[in-house]
Structure 1
Amino acid sequence: MKFRRASRVEEIHINLTPMIDCLLFILVFLLLSTTFYQQSRINLTLPDAQGVPPKQYDHKIEVMVDSGGHYSVNGQALASQDTADLSTAVKQAADGRRDLMFVIAADAKATHQDVVRVMDVAGQLGFVNINISTKAPTRGYE
């Protein structure tokens, strides 16, 4: 007599949890290690100083910025680097005139913030003729 054996057929289950974990790990790793390139919103072409002869003005306000961020207005050094002191000194030098030539002469090692602070003071006081002083290129070797 032949007995039939009971066949045990188990359903096959594929566990997707480890695969999903690995894919999420790879996704997070790629997002953290990727650098995003953001194009500039304004394309600037900065001018070169070609040694244009300086114009002579009878009256001008010249603000100098040294490499340490110290200001001087028309040759007189300011005691502090505060914006209020700079504004007061420029007002005294302008003597109420806003049509004077406003020249910013900054050291090559001066920070951008210090120069922008001078431009901001000039704009708040209403100056419209603002120039940035450049150095004419030297010829030969030094």
Structure 2
Amino acid sequence: MRFRRAQPPEEAEINLIPLIDVLLVLLIFLTATTTFARFGTLGVALPAAGETQMEAGAPLHLEVSADGRVALEGQTLASEPGSLAAALRAAAQGRESPLLVIYADAQASHQSVVDVMQAARAAGIGRLSFGAQDAQRPAGP
């Protein structure tokens, strides 16, 4: 009688080489796709706000309220571009390269500000600036 010795069962083994291959392919794919995302953005240099020296000659001040009403130097005007352009032309008369400073309310519609800019162009005012409130100081007296 021949007795056989029982052979020990083979130990389970995880083959890591296919796992490493898959992870390497995923790593290469992720690296390649994230570098393309950087080229899709625009390189925009944002302007910095600060106190600037005003040039000689007083600028024209124009306010645009939240509901679209327009006031030039404190006088309320019609907000139609044609009549606004006539008022701007009359106010800029006699000034050499006048500057128009637009103070638009934060809630004013984009269209009302564009209408003011269009009227300024029609009036021959080529220099525009936008007034802003200093973020460090609260509004009011």
TM-score category (smaller protein): 0.5 to 0.7
The TM-score normalised by the length of structure 2 is: 0.58
Per the alignment, in what secondary structure is the counterpart of residue 105 of structure 1? Answer: strand
**How many corresponding residue pairs?**
96
Query: Which residue is 2:64 aligned to?
Result: 65
1:120 is matched with which residue: 105, 114, 118? 118
CA displacement, residues 10-31 of structure 1 (integer Å, 9 cap, x when unaligned): xxxxxxxxxxxxxxxxxxxxxx
Q: Is the 8 A contact 2:65 2:105 kept in 1?
A: yes
Structure 1 stretches lacking a partner, 5+ long:
1-42
For 1:68 and 1:112, the matched residues in 2 are separated by: 11
Query: Which residue is 2:109 aligned to?
Result: 111
CA displacement, residues 84-142 of structure 1 (integer Å, 9 cap, x when unaligned): 221121112111435011111100000000000111111222222211112221169xx
Quick one: percent identity of the two aligned structures? 27
Q: Is the 8 A contact 1:51 1:135 kept in 2?
A: no
CA 1:125–1:55 in 2, change beyond 3 Å: closer, same or farther? same
Q: Is the 8 A contact 2:63 2:104 kept in 1?
A: yes
Query: Which residue is 2:128 aligned to?
Result: 130
Per the alignment, in what secondary structure is the counterpart of residue 82 of structure 2? Answer: helix
The answer to which structure has the higher helix fraction is 2
